[in-house]
Structure 1
């Protein structure tokens, strides 16, 4: 028997089309009910219940109860990163969904990746931060620099509120559509939330799409300029 982690069980859980649809639906970062996930997966409530139990037992989902309802969410940020990476691998090998339309363009432009900004705008922000030395790789991995802390202060983002979590401040997440990194970690989450507070962006209900206001896009581009 070979030693090391056995990824076959995780691969089997993700490999079923209905379970893959469930996991993809939860990449919005919102917890959804079993009935909502059944609709996303295109299966009956009983079948969805079986799939959800397997995903929960496999450590990919967490179940939450509120009143009479049960909600499900991705278990960890690592699960979300894995799903995003699998999407990128599938896209790179031509395994794309056949349905095309405006939403596909919008998803590629700006979307939620679990709880941070992804798509072309997410990659734009990551590249701008890296080029200006506001994030950089160090001994502990990717981190916010002093220049980056100054930028966050100018944006009105209080970094002291992020210090209480053990999660990494900055983390690279490979964007499935752009095939480049966007920013995850505590800072990625905080920035998306802050952009919403500032009125720069808004989430499109029942989708992963993020839409910028005209003023928000101008402010975003000025803060995180597009690089050639």
Structure 2
């Protein structure tokens, strides 16, 4: 039985990823900051809940203890993310970047570091970092894509950093299958449900990477159509 932990899984892409992985036979942990919402999501899906704030080392360490005591972990999906402030680039402060990076980059790094010992015990240790085409140089310069119309320095740069972090971990830890998934422009709370894709379509790349098992590649940046440009 494959055991998977998904951060930020009480709604949106995280919730749909959990639903699909349970359907695929995974034992799933719903990680969420809000205990009430997280437990509710877990109850609805038939998953387990663990309170988890990726910006808190204490919270992450407690989650490691809980998940490890229950049997360990095979797949970690770093899905938790925030968009950050919506204002003119000229008005952004360093603190705005720090706030976004604390979740989108440092949170994922904290989770990976904390769960590495547990993942190393798995026969097919896997990490999926949920990134974005908004962090792709190629996509934000392609005027045929919606990504080229978005100006969001904090969010976009954080996703570039997350994708490169993924590549570096893949090089440094060859025993670990770690990849970055771009959901695409999916209708979620992060974009006011304006995306043209459903959450099911948006989770195709995430679920594909999470279920690849021992045959999966590592260090890739993919969307639902395959390897994406970076």
TM-score (normalised: structure 1): 0.32
Larger Rg: 1
Pick the structure with more strand per residue: 1
TM-score (normalised: structure 2): 0.32
